[in-house]
A and B are shown apart, each in its own frame.
Chain A
Amino acid sequence: MDKNQQLFDYISNSQYVGCLDDTQADVGFGSAGQQGLSDVVHFYIASDGEKITAVRFQAYGNAQTLASAAFVAQAIDQKAISIARAINYQRINQQLELRAQNRNSALLCEDALQRALDHLEEKYE
């Protein structure tokens, strides 16, 4: 598939755009990047303690970052938390065939995801 078409599809068609109320006990929030300095990714993840029951993302930056976030959201929805934990930047790179200059997008998404899962874990402890 044409790379740009793949990015287009992820960005245009993702059903996971938006946010969840992270003040809720079952919702974790994670963010990576800094406004004005880099691309930014936010993940909101709801869980029942074992499985991810809802996920939303927000992102600002290049198409690779937005598509990476959309892919991650799709990949972890309704999955076990352990599966979500295993999503790393290599997996994202592989899925989106990111070029070297765009791989930071995958790193941002991995960081934001892990922070959201950490936040969720803290709430369940």
Chain B
Amino acid sequence: MIYLDYAATTPVDPRVLGKMMAYMTQEGQYGNPASLTHAYGKAAQQAVMIARQQVADAIAAQAHDIIFTSGATEANNLAIKGYAEFHQRRGKHIITAKTEHKAVLDTCRYLQQQGFEITYLDPQDNGLIDVQQLTQAIRPETILLSLMLVNNETGVLQDIATISQVAHANGVQMHVDAAQAIGKLDIDVNALGVDLLSISAHKAYGPKGIGALYVSSNPRIRLNPQIHGGGQENSLRAGTLATQQIVGMGEALQIAQAEQATESQRIRELQNRFWQGLQTLGHVYINGDKARRVPHIINISFAGVDSGALLVLLPQLALSTGSACSSGSIEPSHVLQAMRIDKALSQSALRFSFGRFTTQADIEQALQQIIPAVQRLRLISPYYQS
């Protein structure tokens, strides 16, 4: 089977696993990083310190601004709910976009039930947020803007630097979900101008179950914690730190940062070959901006076919019709709907995502399977005219 679903998750890099193993078994450093009365705990604490710095380096932040969480979903919850609850006396309006991940949308819907007002911006047809429209949506009571840096379904790269300037000029704080961007792009929280940034390890060849929230200390961003008990992570996120997970995250991001430039170029070439190979089919369309996108993700509509039927004809390819978090649902992609993609094309869309272990041979084999499958479905269709 060929794995083309790196946007859903990535395998743990063997180099990462090697580092993690040292903090798990009796032969290793398995102590609780908060147990500073003995060497086991101190060793674990030291490992966490190093990993925290590695994570901070990956986004050009300070180590003390990194709060470890169980993943990007928890980081999003902490950022949005935590900020909203702390600052609600200043205002109760939050702005996000209809194309955000469910981790953000559902969190915002929860806040709506708690009395907050949420504006869900419509993207342009290319998936990018119109800065003019955003500016008009900001009100005196707006306290937070939450947008993702890279869309998980389309790979569209949002112009966060410009958007955060608009937010700050209007006294609004900026939260960015960077789960799909980490390890794939240069991320500099200062250059981007973000106040809160969510990341996870498992999309950058680290383990599942660990993520982080960057919380700016300059200016200092205050949040209400969402998990209480124990005082860990500056009392923002209680719970024993999972040393091996944190070590894995740090190592994964350090490797990704070191290899990012060459990897991105390699993957861009793979994507270009893939897209070029599909041209023989005709009537295939990229969903999302053609220029402002990452090379790792490409969302393609195949006119005349149903994506669910296409997946059945591609049993040797691991693919997704959209977000993994919602691919079990039969609903059309909310991202493509928000982009006003034609309904039939939306139903024919598949997300292909490439990664560190994707090879040229994988691309060629995928094309050899996809092309005849699409042709077969188009032959069966009463509507497709070649």
Contacts and interface: CB of A to CB of B under 8 A. Distances in A.
Interface of A: 4-5, 7-8, 11-12, 17-19, 35-36, 39-40, 42, 57-63, 65-66, 101
Contacts of B376: 11-12
A120 B50 CA distance: 78
Contacts of B308: 62-63
Majority DSSP secondary structure for residues of A touching B: mixed
A35 B304 CA distance: 11
A18 to B, nearest CB: 8
Contacts of B344: 36
Contacts of A39: 306
The interface centre, meaning the residue of B308, B376, B380 with most chain A CB atoms within 10 A of its CB, is: B380
21 contacts: A8-B312, A11-B313, A12-B313, A12-B376, A17-B380, A18-B379, A36-B344, A40-B382, A40-B383, A58-B380, A59-B380, A59-B382, A60-B304, A60-B306, A60-B380, A61-B306, A63-B308, A63-B309, A63-B312, A65-B309, A66-B309
Nearest to B305: A60
B315 A4 contact: yes
Interface string B345-386: 000000000000000000000000000000011011111000
A4 B312 contact: yes
Given A11-B380, A61-B306, 4 more contacts: A7-B312, A40-B382, A60-B380, A66-B380
Nearest to B379: A17
Contacts of A12: 313, 376
Contacts, number: 55
Taking residues whose C-beta sits less than 8 angstroms from the other chain, chain B's interface range is: 10 to 19
B369 to A, nearest CB: 11
A68 to B, nearest CB: 12
B128 to A, nearest CB: 28
Contacts of B315: 4-5, 8
Nearest to A2: B315
Contact of B381 (A8, A36, A58, A62): A58
A65 B347 CA distance: 15
Nearest to A69: B380
